[in-house]
Amino acid sequence: MDGILPLYKERGMTSNDCVFKCRRILKSKRVGHSGTLDPNVDGVLPICVGKATKVVNYLMDSGKIYIGEITLGFATTTEDLEGDIVEKRKLARMFTAEEINKAMLALTGKLIQIPPMYSAIKVKGRRLYDYARAGETVERPQRKIVVDYFKQVNTSTFDMEKGQQKIYFEIGCGKGTYVRTIAVDLGKKLGVPAVMSDLTRLASGGFTIGQAIKLDDLKKAAADGNLEEKLFPADHALKKFPHHVLTETQWRIVQNGGFLLPKYLRGDERRPVIVLMYKNKARALYRFNQEKERYQPEQMIDLTEGEN
């Protein structure tokens, strides 16, 4: 069984929990996810199965969309509600929509982000959350991220008694972005402690939440023998690249990992990466070697002869 499953990850589960359960339901060992979601976050989690695991990185390169809630007035160790409160400050007044919009705009575009201590990033062979749980500190690597947009989607609310304000947002961002860190940084722009208090992933890997299937529904599909209908082809992750349909001769060359000359592909165009198709399936990605003026294998996906 090969393909991409847009899974709806429910809260309380880790992304690896989802992979484990999908392996059992799909009866396949070759299962992997394309971007971690924290246990307290729900939403779209694309799962790659079989030969489609070879395109996981291309799914991860696609943009993601989230909606959520930021609370101004306190901060935690984990930057979300799972951690201990490390700072609390009662707001003297409610920030205006204009002030919030200005701060949000400053957090868009190409940014440098330092991942939170409670994250799965590895430093010197250990996860950052392992350092954090042991009470140890370590220098965290800076990461380049891209935030396409960051905006309010509802009127913010203010709790006068607690001195806290809730901001309701939507964000479109690239891979590697920690939205909870964006929430904390928004607070810094406004001069107050902040925490991400709610988050849902609406889109990832070209899939929307409306396409996502719950584990219970996946189990039912397995019982009914309809699992194949829930899977998208591996090519779904490769839509942004130009495609070329192989001739029989070219297919034999590709099966043996051979190179292809550009004059026989897409009218002599030099594209950085192309997807090679045969019998309606994505078979390989080839990258153009400018020095040698030819296309060479970058990622083999499916070199089997049959269509199924």
Residue 194 tokens read as 């902040």
Q: Which residue is listed with tokens 């950052």?
A: 128
- Per-residue confidence of the chain (308 residues) as pLDDT tens digits? 899 999 999 999 999 999 999 999 999 889 988 878 889 999 999 999 999 999 988 888 888 999 999 999 999 999 999 999 999 999 999 999 999 999 999 999 999 998 877 777 787 788 778 887 888 878 888 889 999 999 999 999 999 999 999 999 999 999 889 999 999 999 999 999 999 999 999 999 999 999 999 999 999 999 998 888 999 999 999 988 999 999 999 999 999 999 998 887 765 567 899 999 999 999 999 999 999 989 999 999 998 876 54
Closest CA to 53 of 308, 300, 230, 243: 300
Q: Which CATH architecture has domain 241-300?
A: Roll (2.30)
For the chain, give every domain's residue range. Answer: 3-61+205-236, 64-203, 241-300
38 carries an active-site annotation:
yes
**β strands within the chain, DSSP E:** 3-9, 31-33, 42-49, 64-72, 74-76, 85-88, 109-113, 122-123, 126-127, 143-159, 164-173, 194-204, 207-208, 243-245, 273-278, 281-289, 294-300
Q: What pLDDT does 264 receive?
A: 78
The CATH number that domain 64-203 falls under is 3.30.2350.10
Q: Annotated catalytic residue: which of 2, 38, 42, 185?
A: 38
User: 241-300: same fold as 3-61+205-236?
Assistant: no
Q: What is the 3-state secondary structure (H, E, C) of 186-198?
A: HHHHHCCCEEEEE
Q: What pLDDT does 306 receive?
A: 61
Q: What pLDDT does 266 receive?
A: 62
Residue 137 tokens read as 């500190």
- CATH class for the domain made up of 3-61+205-236: alpha beta
Q: How many CA atoms lie within 13 A of 125 on its CB side?
A: 0
Q: What pLDDT does 308 receive?
A: 45
